[in-house]
């Protein structure tokens, strides 16, 4: 599902996952909650957005 985010850009919306680059732990990505602001509950590292290969404009 693609939705228009701030500034009218397409974003992943409520689909996809946030992934910890340190340990590989995954959590669901929710609309309005940036993966980059989340901390991994397993190791304490910063989460990143899963690379889906979808171009965002």
Has residue 55 got a pLDDT over 80? no
pTM equals 0.62
**Could you tell me the two tokens for 53?**
């290969």
Q: For 5-43, what is each residue's pLDDT tens digit?
A: 455 555 545 468 999 999 999 999 888 889 999 999 999
For 37, half-sphere exposure in the C-beta direction (CA atoms, 13 angstrom radius) is: 6
Strands (E), 1-57: 3-4, 10-11, 17-19, 26-28, 48-49
Question: How much is the pLDDT for 48?
Answer: 93
Q: Is the pLDDT of residue 47 over 70?
A: yes
Buried/exposed code over 25-57 (b: 16+ C-beta within 10 A; e: otherwise): bebebeeeeebeebebeeeeeebeeeeeeeeee
């Amino acid at each position: 599902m693609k939705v228009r985010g701030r500034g009218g850009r397409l974003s992943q919306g409520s689909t996809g996952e946030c992934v910890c680059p340190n340990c590989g732990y995954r959590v669901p990505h929710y609309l309005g909650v940036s993966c980059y602001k989340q901390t991994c509950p397993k190791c304490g590292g910063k989460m990143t957005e899963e690379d889906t290969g979808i171009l965002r404009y």
